[in-house]
Amino acid sequence: MTHIALVTGANRGLGRATALALARNKIRVVAASRGGGSEVVDEIVELGGEAIAVHLDVADLASIEAARVAVLAGIEHEWSASTVDVLVNNAGVGLFAPLGAITADDFDATFAVNVRGPLFVTQAFLPHLSEGASIVNVSSSLSRHVSPATSVYAASKKALEALTRSLAAELGPRGIRINSIAPGPTATDFNGGAMRDDEAMRAGLSGQTALGRVGDPAEIADAISALVSCEFRWATGERIEVSGGVLL
């Protein structure tokens, strides 16, 4: 049976890489993003895969409900399906500012996307997840180590990991697995593409990793793809860091 995966924030960066990695493993992809996700769908189709796109703003509860309706209609129309087998809560925002510059709006906006979003996306799709489905929440290595001006972002990712563990216990009776992936410094367009485009930043971060370089989005995506596979069927409530050994 061909599985179906819903990936949030699938239009760029790690979300795009994850959608492509899943498609290469013959998983049908629902690419969800504020931008609609049509470009990554085109890429997947060019690879010989199957995908549809839906609009989703994870910080907006009305958008989550609209996306739920659109996903169910889309998978029924395209694949005569009624359930989702894989959910990747990837959409996220970064807030990198010293304590004195952080506002309440900054805090609320960060937690709305990074914590509230995954919670309510999971809630919305829970009735439509297949028995034995797999959920991955994308966290960050910054939930483990300290870096200046990352307090709110790191706190949001730590909260997401706590959510992951709690839901693992709650959803276990249905055979649903939920784990978190914690990427280290990765060359994506996140935070304006600084880790990808700023050579000085990239060199500094590379020096903090055991493997001596920043990661490629495909390396994180491959880890997510492995985690949702049957090879990890006995793993739930876990935090898997994929960071090249940053700040060990």
Q: Write out the catalytic residue numbers.
A: 153
The answer to whether 221 and 133 have CB atoms below 8 angstroms apart is no
Q: How far is the C-alpha of 78 from the C-alpha of 92, rounded, in Å?
A: 28
Distance between CA atoms of 58 and 219, rounded to whole angstroms? 25
Amino acid type, 174: R
Q: Give the bridge partners for 134, in sequence order.
A: 86, 177
Report the alpha-carbon distance of residue 22 to residue 97 in Å, rounded. 34
- Put residue 81 in one of left, alpha, beta given phi > 0 → left and psi -120 to 50 → alpha: beta
Phi, psi of 13 (to 5 degrees): 55, -135
